[in-house]
Amino acid sequence: MIITIIFFKIVEAVTERSKMLCICSPNNPTGTYISKRVMHHLLDVLPKHMLVLFDAAYSQFATASDYTNGLEFVRAGYPLIVLQTFSKIYGLAGLRVGFGAASADIIKHIMKVKEPFNVNALAQVAAAAALQDDEHVQLSLQSNTRGREQLYHAFQELRLPFIESMSNFILVELGPNAKLIYEQLLNKGIIVRYGGIWQLPHHVRVSIGKEEENTAFIKELTEILASQNLFEWS
């Protein structure tokens, strides 16, 4: 239902002056995604001159059966470019390397403005090796999927509203004290992203960690929330 609304909102926002549509799926910071069916429909109704930029930075964490990483639509000849990064599931953010996949016709235009040596040779070697490392990707995916469930469960116990995520983070609503709670977590050595930068002042975005890291986060959050309640009641 929500996705249908998003579909109409996007179509409604497109005018004859629109040149490019950017879609981030799974999205940052919500963790929501656009289904294969809706994506297909969208590509079919968009004006043919429009380029679709499909940011799939978190694609490897998505487990929904109707998720698409966009590549099938590149192969089918639609005018879209799929972006990938080695900063997320591959854990190579310091190397500054990613890639795009699109038809030769789209790439041809990018090559006209691409700077020479924009990705260093060592980073390219590491990226190519990372692509072969299925075991790392599988283990990270499994750990992330388990961690998501662990945090969902904790948020439910704490009665905190959250958005189900296809990514490696969860957006959770902490209420008007979100910034204070974020700062208190920071004092305990736990770093989450405060939602203020996305105009979500009542939310924080929590990255999924290893089981023991998630446990430590849940413990501190539980304590902070409990002490706040005491404070409010007194």
Ligand X SMILES: *Cc1c(COP(=O)(O)O)cnc(C)c1O
Q: Which is nearer to ligand X, 28 or 214 (CB)?
A: 28
The sheet with strand 169-173 has its strands ordered as 169-173, 203-207, 193-194
Residues of span 195-214 touching ligand X by CB under 6 A = none
Say whether 63 sits in a helix, a strand or coil.
Answer: coil
When asked if residue 57 is in the footprint of ligand X (CB under 6 A), the reply is: yes
| Contact residues for 111 (Cβ-Cβ < 8 A; gap 6+) | none
Q: Residue 117: left if φ>0, alpha if ψ -120 to 50, beta else—which one?
A: left
When asked if residue 98 is in the footprint of ligand X (CB under 6 A), the reply is: yes
When asked if residue 87 is in the footprint of ligand X (CB under 6 A), the reply is: yes
Min dist CB 124 to ligand X, Å, is 14
Q: Residue 189: left if φ>0, alpha if ψ -120 to 50, beta else—which one?
A: left
Q: Which is nearer to ligand X, 29 or 147 (CB)?
A: 29
Q: Which is nearer to ligand X, 169 or 217 (CB)?
A: 169
Q: Which is nearer to ligand X, 85 or 140 (CB)?
A: 85
Phi/psi of residue 194, nearest 5 degrees: -75, 140
- Choose which of 54, 55, 170, 214 interacts with ligand X (CB under 6 A): 55
Contact residues for ligand X, defined by CB under 6 A: 24, 28, 55, 57, 85, 87-88, 93, 98
